[in-house]
Amino acid sequence: IAKKSGEKTLSAAKSPVDIHELGDELMNHPSKSLIVSGTNDVSIQVLVNGINFLLANLGGTLEFERSSLIKGGCDHSFSNLIKEMNEGKVDALIMHNVNPAYDYAEADKFVSGLKKTGLTVSLSSKNDETAKLANYVCPDNHYLESWNDAEPYNNLYSITQPTIHNIFDTRQAQESLMAWVGIEGDFRDFIKKHWEDNLFGKQSEYLLFTDFWNNSVQKGVFEVAAEVTECPVFDFEYFDREGTKFTKVKAGGDIELVLYESIAIGPGIMANNPWLQELPDPMSKAVWDNYVAVSPRFAKDKGWEQEDMVKVNGSIELPILIQPGQPYGTVSIALGYGRTDCGKVGDGIGKNVFSLGEIAPTGLRNNYNLSVTIEKTGETYPLATTQTHHDMKGREIVKETTIAEYAMNNSAGNENHKILMDKDDTMYPDYEFPGAHWGLAIDFNQCTGCNACVVGCQAENNIAVIGKEEVKNRRIMHWLRIDRYFSTETDEINSPVVSENPDVFHQPVMCQHCDNAPCENVCPVAATPHTKEGLNAMAYNRCIGTRYCMNNCPYRVRRFNWYRYLDNDKFDYNFNDEISKMVLNPDVVVRERGVVEKCSFCVQRIQEVKLVAKDENRAIHDGEIKPACVQACPTKALTFGDTNMKSSEVNKKFDDARAYGLLEELHTVPSVQYLTKVKNKEAAHKDHGHGHGHDHNHS
């Protein structure tokens, strides 16, 4: 980038791969790209800032007026604190919802320093590895039970309000601090006074503070116009010096370790949540464990196979997971596992690998290690994954095309849809849905595979958690799953080879609510009828568990209750526990053993909106009904509505030239339509032997 910009290039930098094409692409789109850093390493961050400067992103895609304040910790200060604790210089230490005895890379130093500190108080909302070491524990409210305020970005302020009652007899941490220093009142009054003294004067809309406060509480946010900030000028001498530091890394082995936070349990704070422990990783589809992810070629060269047990740095034993797309010579392990004091769900799940991260002499924490050793132990460890296939066997499951092809033909990649629809003959009489006909559209270009819809569906519909052993038995209960496929090097259907750097496709799959549903006519007790609004319904009290419907469903979206999961005693909370009963949705029945269940398009939400509209003597508005998956999706990839309403958004998507039904050649007439993925590439992927964007050779 520097060379193409006419600036001084790094004297010691050389990329191991050819990046000229990428450089041209970035240079051709000034102010429209963004380079990000995935590390705390200052040298790398300087390089990233320099590249963004050369690409004219500073002040464009990078706004200095709205800088993020979400991360405010200082590793250097914390490192100095631990040093002073071990020297006996700290008389008292108050800790608020932090857990360094677990998640600090040198936790042993913190623990030893804590023992040398005179008074230690933990203001924690839950028991954890650090709280159990404190002299006193003063239980904090849950954040949803507390008044608070925040400034996540410059000049953007928010207020959080508590629920009506606390579940337990706890006190908000801030109110404990106020009481200890002699400040009267509650924390709400403290926040209100702070806003009056510091924020009220930053606006001119309200003359009275009471009006300003009430409006802020009602909206939840208050935003101040951002001050224009002059873009910084970059010092390329400094750029070169820092780049030289980066390229002169310490000598090490041939394996680089990257530590990352699990998308489900983060750094471990959600480890005791069974929903999230059983949430499949978007890429590996593994649950209930962390593992050493490694590329297929690197694993082959090292003699590692799936589920081989290895020892990392001679101390931590974890299984191998073969992960296509992982860079050669790099392994990755998820943080957040290996908890010992978080609860019945999370204790003993996986291994704690925070100690494998590097701490620089300045105290800066880096979640990578440039030199680790990995040795096979000769043992194996079974992993639980929710998807065991990676290819589509030549079928058009996920259709895709390129932007160049789409520009010439808006049905590119989906040409056979019209052919199949023209052959849509049947001996059955057509059925007209006189009222509403509910449908769901899913846009592949907007779906990131984040799994928010999966958790949203589970919470809304009281879906049971079954545990690792049952997942291994292929009995996962999620009504909505996200299938993940990789592109392949060959067109072979029976033995495709996944690309070393594959394209990845995420496909949400739920009950397709077929208008010609193959599950309905095989049920011997009519437990799965079709409603007059196009829903494939379930009458749980009629179901006798023959599972004929499951055998006849080509989409594998029906789930069977092999056990009475509501009494699962493997977890802290089950559906009969006094606390977790509060989590249940009273509008959805909890299913018993021997019953088949599946996606209902959140029929309870449909009925609720229908009742409200009837009470208000009006029609249902387009978009008013949002199933849990639609509501949870952060990218608006899912659109729900009445396909009989010609002006509805879902109907427009159904009429899109990209729309198609999953396995529509089976003539199931699904009420879920997918929109062909349009890849931001001028030419077809080199893996596409058909030269067209179809998915014949994807896995």
Q: What percent of the chain has pLDDT over 90?
A: 53
Q: How far apart are CA 263 and CA 635, in angstroms?
A: 16
Is residue 248 over pLDDT 70? no
Q: What percent of the chain has pLDDT over 70?
A: 91
Residue 246 sits at φ, ψ, to 5 deg, of: -65, -40
Residues 636-695: tens digit of each pLDDT: 999 999 999 999 999 999 999 999 999 988 889 999 999 999 988 765 544 433 333 343
Q: How far apart are CA 409 and CA 348, in angstroms?
A: 54
Rg (CA), the chain: 28
DSSP one-letter code for 628: H
pLDDT tier for residue 612 given thresholds of 50, 70 and 90: very high
Residues 338-392: tens digit of each pLDDT: 999 988 888 999 999 999 888 877 777 888 887 788 999 999 999 999 988 887 7
- Counted residue by residue, the chain has a size of 699
Chosen CATH of 400-679 out of 3.30.70.20, 3.40.50.300, 3.40.50.720, 3.30.565.10: 3.30.70.20
Helix spans in 181-249 (H): 187-198, 209-219, 236-247
Written in H, E and C, the secondary structure of 515-560 is CCCCCHHHCCCCCCCECCCCCECCCCCCCCCCCHHHHHCCCCCCEE
Work out the angle between the directed axes of helices 107-115 and 75-86 (0-180°, nearest 10). Answer: 40
* b/e map 29-38, b = 16+ CB within 10 Å: eeeebebeee
Lowest mean pLDDT among 374-378, 394-398, 557-561, 578-582: 578-582
Dihedral angle computed from the Cα positions of residues 593, 572, 589 and 535, in that order, rounded to the nearest 10 degrees: -90
Q: How far apart are CA 93 and CA 116, in angstroms?
A: 11
pTM for this model (two decimals) = 0.86
CA distances from 640 to 420, 432, 532, 619 (A): 24, 20, 17, 16
**Confidence at residue 693, expressed as pLDDT on a 0 to 100 scale:** 38
Tokens of 512: 């397709």
Which CATH number is associated with domain 256-380?
2.40.40.20
Phi-psi region of 97 (alpha: psi -120 to 50; beta: other; left: phi over 0): left
Measured over all CA atoms, what is the biggest interatomic distance in the chain, rounded to whole angstroms? 86
Residue 445 sits at φ, ψ, to 5 deg, of: -70, -15
Residues 151-166: tens digit of each pLDDT: 988 888 999 999 888 8
Lowest mean pLDDT among 205-219, 478-492, 520-534: 478-492
Q: Cα 25 from chain centroid?
A: 29
Helix, strand or coil for residue 218?
A: helix
Apex 682 CA angle, 680 and 688, nearest 5: 90
Which CATH number is associated with domain 75-223?
3.40.50.740
Work out the angle between the directed axes of helices 173-180 and 187-198 (0-180°, nearest 10). Answer: 80
Q: What is the mean pLDDT of residues 395-405?
A: 87
Residue 466 sits at φ, ψ, to 5 deg, of: -115, -15
pLDDT tier for residue 243 given thresholds of 50, 70 and 90: low
Q: How far apart are CA 557 and CA 508, in angstroms?
A: 11
Among 227, 236, 290, residue whose Cα is nearest residue 263: 290
CA distances from 545 to 418, 463, 557, 559, 597 (A): 38, 17, 15, 11, 10
Q: How far apart are CA 155 and CA 221, in angstroms?
A: 10
Strands (E), 418-537: 438-443, 481-486, 504-509
DSSP one-letter code for 262: B
Q: What is the mean pLDDT of residues 392-397?
A: 80
Among 44, 105, 113, 102, residue whose Cα is nearest residue 313: 105
Q: What is the mean pLDDT of residues 569-589?
A: 76
Is residue 244 over pLDDT 70? no
Structural domain boundaries of the chain?
A: 1-64+232-247, 75-223, 256-380, 400-679
Q: How far apart are CA 119 and CA 245, in angstroms?
A: 42
**Confidence at residue 611, expressed as pLDDT on a 0 to 100 scale:** 95
Helix spans in 28-66 (H): 42-54
Contacts of 687 (CB under 8 A, 6+ apart): 487, 488, 489, 499, 502, 503, 697
Yes or no: say if 369 and 331 are a contact pair by the CB < 8 Å rule. Answer: no
